[in-house]
Amino acid sequence: MSWFHLKHDLKTSLWVVPLLFMVAAAGLNLLTVQLDPRGELVPQSISGDASAASQMLYLIAFSMLTLTGLVLSLVVVVVQLAMGSFSPRIVRQILQDRPSQCAIGLFAGTFIHAILTMRVVRSDRGPVVPGLAVLVTIGLGMACMITLVWYINYIGQSLRAAALVGWVAKDTIRSLDRNYPPDPDAETDDPQVIPAPRGGVIFAIDHDRLVQLARRAGVRLELLWSTGDYVPEGGDLVRIHGDPAGVARSAVARCINVGPERTLNQDVAYGLRMLVDIGARTLSAGPFEDPTTAVQAIDRIHEVLRRIVQRPLHDGRYLDDDGEVRLVVPTIQWPGYVRIAFDELRQAGAASPQVVRRLRAALDDLLTIAPEDRRPPLVQQLELLDQLSQRDAQTGFDAEAVKVPDRSGIGSADELTRTDP
């Protein structure tokens, strides 16, 4: 086996880092026992007598063994989910995840330290309690509790698609930089453009601060990406209209917050996006797989659009105190919200009478309250819904039935609830 092969295997194996932690824990135990073999450095009021110390060490050792098994189980669950939901080729990235390796190593190392300390504690022939070793074990146990809480949060975050995709992307970029280093003679950046210091999804923008910075420099700033967009590292982030000499470029970049994925902080469209994903996913296997869940998603989409339709939407221009435009940000408008809400559900559920009728009910209701300038996108969606539903209707009866709006999909329309006076 070549040195490169051995180095690669050690770097990508799950067991190497935990083994190093366990060896370090054994060495730490030898050191602490040698420094305080009879408990002279640490008072017995802290370490306890021989019986209490033994019980405490046993409890810590047993707990660490349990936690080590728990963390290993979580890693296995993550591997299974990643293989089933994404790709079996992502397993290597998960197994070489350093935080998981360190968490396993800390728990296993604390277990080793505890059982080695138990070996020294004696209650017969003159009690012996290595106080420093006991105190270090207690400290390691507390560190393990903190690590456990942190790791549960970490592993939960790691189950997100954005985290798994991010792992692969970072490894790919590191490989790219190693094999194809950047050209030092490449052209310098455009002085009128501020590049993104790091890649990520824009989830929050400090508009007020950007207006202040633009006014101070006597320029207008144009953000080239909207909230929810992924901006690559080094990509053009902000364009400066005016003399760029007085612009605090790093301060401007700090006003635009990026992260691994979209959030609902300033991104209303992302909320609609998630609701649409839920509805479309239930219809992905077929229009009759789970139309009721799709209708429930449409209920909430309808509610959100009802709140948006009559509210003024920001045009993306931010003015200073003198009324001069200092910041321009791409901002989604009403037609965009309508398309996000209905396009995919209309196409995925066109063959489901329940989904079509519920979509029609939502659109009809929105038309009753929409201002005149916001009606065209809704009318267009109704026309497209008619085209798709008529194409997929099996009989003439079905073709007429899907034209009836129904707030429950099937069950609350006038044709089904009408009673004679």
Q: What is the pLDDT of residues 179-194, one digit of tens each?
A: 998 877 766 678 899 9
Residues 240, 355, single domain; the answer is no
Range of the domain at 345: 268-305+332-417
Look at residue 322 and tell me if it is in a domain: no
pLDDT at position 418: 52
For Cα atoms 306, 309, 313, give the angle at the middle one, nearest 5 degrees: 135
The letter for the amino acid at 417 is: T
Q: Residue 213 belongs to a domain with what CATH number?
A: 3.90.1170.30
Look at residue 185 and tell me if it is in a domain: no
Boundary-marking domain end, from 236, 259, 282 = 259
pLDDT at position 128: 73
Boundary-marking domain end, from 113, 140, 175 = 175
pLDDT at position 41: 77
Contact 413, 357 (CB under 8 A): yes
Residues 38, 109, single domain; the answer is yes
Q: Which tops the pLDDT comparison, 51 or 379?
A: 379
Whether residue 171 has pLDDT greater than 70: yes
- Smallest CA-to-CA distance from 211 within 315, 323, 312, 333 is with 323
Average pLDDT estimate for 275-288: 85
pLDDT at position 399: 64
pLDDT at position 37: 75
Beta strand spans in 256-381 (E): 256-259, 317-319, 325-328
Number of domains forming the structure of the chain: 3
Q: What is the pLDDT of residues 249-260, one digit of tens each?
A: 999 999 999 999
Structure token pair of residue 115: 């059982």
pLDDT at position 412: 62
* Measured distance CA(21)–CA(23) in Å, rounded: 6
The CA–CA distances, whole Å, from 283 to 127, 291, 295, 359, 370 equal: 71, 7, 11, 14, 29
pLDDT at position 342: 96
Is 1 exposed, middle or buried (CB count within 10 Å of its CB: 0-12, 13-18, 19+)? exposed
At 320, is the pLDDT very low, low, confident or very high (cuts 50, 70, 90)?
very high
Contact 407, 360 (CB under 8 A): no
* Measured distance CA(368)–CA(404) in Å, rounded: 16
Look at residue 312 and tell me if it is in a domain: no
Averaged pLDDT of the chain: 87
Look at residue 209 and tell me if it is in a domain: yes
Look at residue 181 and tell me if it is in a domain: no
- Residue whose pair of structure tokens reads 């940000």 in the numeric block: 329
Look at residue 290 and tell me if it is in a domain: yes
Structure token pair of residue 416: 């089904």
Residues 103, 208, single domain; the answer is no
Residues 277, 404, single domain; the answer is yes
Whether residue 203 has pLDDT greater than 60: yes
Residues 366, 218, single domain; the answer is no
pLDDT at position 411: 62
Boundary-marking domain end, from 175, 207, 223 = 175
Residues 216, 300, single domain; the answer is no
Residues 29, 102, single domain; the answer is yes
Residues 164, 223, single domain; the answer is no
Residues 202, 287, single domain; the answer is no
Average pLDDT estimate for 309-313: 94
> Any idea which of 122-131, 299-308, 356-365 has the lowest mean pLDDT?
122-131
Structure token pair of residue 122: 């004696």
Whether residue 409 has pLDDT greater than 80: no
Whether residue 327 has pLDDT greater than 70: yes
Q: What is the pLDDT of residues 123-158, one digit of tens each?
A: 766 667 788 888 999 999 999 999 999 998 988 888
Residues 135, 171, single domain; the answer is yes
Q: Which helix (H) or strand (E) holds 389?
A: helix 375-392
Look at residue 374 and tell me if it is in a domain: yes
- For the whole model, what pTM was predicted? 0.79
Whether residue 419 has pLDDT greater than 70: no
Q: What is the pLDDT of residues 397-406, one digit of tens each?
A: 566 667 677 7
* Measured distance CA(125)–CA(223) in Å, rounded: 77
pLDDT at position 397: 58
Q: What is the pLDDT of residues 215-271, one digit of tens each?
A: 999 999 999 999 999 999 999 999 999 999 999 999 999 999 999 999 999 999 999
pLDDT at position 167: 82
Tell me the three state secondary structure of residue 352. coil
* List of residues 6+ apart from 48 with CB closer than 8 A: 56, 129, 134
Residues 273, 255, single domain; the answer is no
Residues 209, 294, single domain; the answer is no
* Measured distance CA(240)–CA(263) in Å, rounded: 27
- How many other CB atoms sit within 10 Å of the CB of residue 202? 23
Look at residue 310 and tell me if it is in a domain: no
Longest dimension (CA), the chain: 99
